[in-house]
Amino acid sequence: MVEGLHRVVVTGLGAVTPIGNTVFDYWKGLSTAQNGVQLITLFDSTHHSCHFAAEVKEFDITSILELKDSKRWDRFCQFGVVAARQAVNDAHLIINESNASRIGIAIGSGVGGLLMMETQVHVLNERGPERVSPFCVPMMIPNMVTGLAAITLGAKGPSISTSTACAAGSNAIGDAFRLLQLGKADVMICGGAESAITPLALAGFASAKALSLRNDNPSAASRPFDAERNGFVIGEGAGMLVLETFEHAKNRDANIMAEIVGYGTTCDAYHITSPAPEGIGGAKAIKLALNDGQLLAEEVDYINAHGTSTIINDRNETAAIKSALGRHAYEIPVSSTKSMTGHLLGGSGGIEAVACILAIKHNLVPPTINYESQDPDCDLDYVPNQARELKLNIALSNSFGFGGHNVCLAFRQMA
């Protein structure tokens, strides 16, 4: 611990995911290898080349919002606010005028209100500009999930919205961690939210050759690190953490789940979509997170990989892990929970940080499902198909995004 910096701990979790809309159900899904991929129900995908995704199921926003108001919120905002409220309730955190200015929000989203934008473009083209909703702009901008979470919860401290593609949720958590370390807030509610299962996003990712098109067997489509992988599966949802300074958590006798000790972030400065060769940017982010937490490579017990199920990403992430951890990379489990949830884009860092913390809490490593054939370029222990009991002290969470964004977060068992 660097002198003068506050220790930062995790006291609450929230999750809305394709395999469960609470933290309890999400963890049950991860630990029992549930598969959240199914045929798309949110719209008619008949004319698309891909017909499946990992949708959030049986989600009810009316538990916190009247139906007429909820229709004005884009789906990604609904997910984010519900998960944030779950995390606050889990932390038994009371926000009032006495502490609101010391409680902040940091939420990442890669694309924001894409559904709102697509819907209103259709209105514009079919019915004219006068019929476009006055809520169109406020509800399609990525920062609105942060704004609505702050309004709903009454948090008046630092307010941050990150939009670093698929690293957005992890960047938000890392930036919240930094603010707390520096004493700029006492509590930060942070994570990622996304809902980009839309006609435009599906078509765009398919045109970029990024999606799996395994329409004959959708449940086997998300298969990170497997030799037969052929693209990612788009998912949706949100994952949130309540982070506090250790002193603040201790003073209010909060239940401390884990400690966040490291944050590394870099940019490849290489290509708009492809990672730099041999994962050099990702490797540096991992090393920075370890250095930040004053950790040795040999102390890492588990890595929740970015693991998208694309050829290049999985190969480069494997190289990055080996570069950062050396021989120890072959001695630890590295799993991708995207095999079960699909890829939540900017929301992925949120739910995967939640997964790391729960793995530490339960001493159980989630599996990589659909793993059947080894790729010679991906030669680590990917925890095939079944969760594994293992004493965990240090867990890392990797997130990499279009534009070359790389993030690694380091969590530790609370002594």
Whole-angstrom distance, CA of residue 205 vs CA of residue 53: 12
Nearest 5 degrees, angle CA 58-CA 196-CA 407? 110
The helix/strand/coil state of 320 is helix
Q: What is d(CA 119, CA 87) in angstroms, rounded to the nearest whole number?
A: 30
Q: Which residue carries 């199914």 as its tokens? A: 38
Q: Provide the sign of the torsion angle of the four alpha carbons 73, 75, 76, 78, taken in this order.
A: positive
Q: Residue 82 to residues 17, 76, 101, 211, 259: CA-CA distances in angstroms?
A: 11, 10, 21, 28, 24
Nearest to 279 by CA among 302, 313, 310: 313
In DSSP terms, 394 is beta-bridged to 412
Beta strands in 186-333 (DSSP E): 187-195, 236-245, 258-267, 302-304
Give CA–CA dist 350/239, Å, rounded: 4
Name the amino acid, one letter, at 346.
G
CA-CA distance, 201 to 118, in Å (whole number)?
A: 10
CA pair distance 324, 263, nearest whole angstrom: 14
Whole-angstrom distance, CA of residue 262 vs CA of residue 250: 21
The answer to whether 13 and 23 are in contact (CB under 8 A) is: yes
Q: What is the distance between the alpha carbons of residues 258 and 10, in angstroms, rounded to a whole number?
A: 5
What sign does the dihedral 149-168-90-77 (CA atoms) show?
Answer: positive
The residue among 390, 397, 398, 331 whose CA lies nearest residue 361 is 390
Q: Using CB atoms within 10 A of its CB, is residue 51 exposed (0-12), middle (13-18) or buried (19+)? A: middle
In terms of Cα–Cα distance, which of 282, 264, 263, 277 is closest to 329? 282
Catalytic residue at 356? Answer: no
Residue 69 one-letter amino acid: D
Tokens of 206: 């398919």
Catalytic residue among 77, 166, 378, 408: 166
> ∠ CA(31), CA(36), CA(42), 5° rounding?
155
Which residues does the annotation mark as catalytic?
166
